[in-house]
Amino acid sequence: MLNQPLSVFISRAVTLVIAFTIHEFAHAWSADELGDNTPRANGRLTLNPLAHLDPIGSLLLLVAGFGWAKPVPINPYALERRTPAGPMMVAAAGPLSNLMLAIVAAIPFRIGLLEPSQTAGLMPTPASFLTEFIWINLILLFFNLIPVAPLDGEKVLEYFVPAGARSTLYQLRPYGPMLLMVLIFVGPLLGLDLLSILIGWPTRQVFQALVL
């Protein structure tokens, strides 16, 4: 990504700020609505990007195509007092917010105001910016749904698997970051690019459904 035109870099930087901020705010807002004031107490119930962006995670998204924001702290016990599905609902709120952002950004294409384009001059055009915006939000959607800790998908999976299988998830949880690194870096070297299957294919399918 370092050799991308300036317009693409600008589009991704602006998208990063919006997408990560809304994603983390969605976690915080849903937790607050379900009776957990932990995000509010930690200053995360805000649309201020500075409260949510992680410097290293943000830089990696720009230059490497993946990254992260600061996790929103929650109290699962407070959430479960409202509903056993509380932690799952809070986890799912983040990826769903990225889907909603992609849907809203696709409206100008669907109604014929713009044609999808990734080409621009020095500065992004409305079409090139929205195209990049949709792509990145869909990538964040499917990346975060990978059922490996600390991603949101692991919390969603935890709710749906039988109670007897949850102990296996708990045992694997400490190794989640290492498993992600293997998926991202080692898998392609071994000819096993699972990320293309888990993220690339569904991203292309949903992009076409939304835009084309």
Q: Is 24 a catalytic residue?
A: yes
Residue where the block lists tokens 């299957």: 197
Angle at 208 between CA 203 and CA 210, to 5 degrees: 95
Q: CB of 146 within 8 A of CB of 184?
A: no
CB 117 within 8 A of CB 128: yes
- For residue 201, the number of C-alpha atoms closer than 13 Å in the C-beta half-sphere is 6
Out of 24, 132, 154, 158, the active site residue is 24
Can you tell me the distance from the alpha carbon of 93 to that of 100, in angstroms, rounded to the nearest whole number? 10
b/e sequence 143-166, b meaning 16+ C-beta within 10 Å: bbbbbbbebbbbbbbbeeeeeeee
Measured torsion, CA atoms of residues 93, 94, 95, 100, in degrees rounded to the nearest 10: 80
What are the DSSP calls for 149-175, one per residue?
TTSHHHHHHHHHS-GGGHHHHHHHGGG
Active site residues: 24
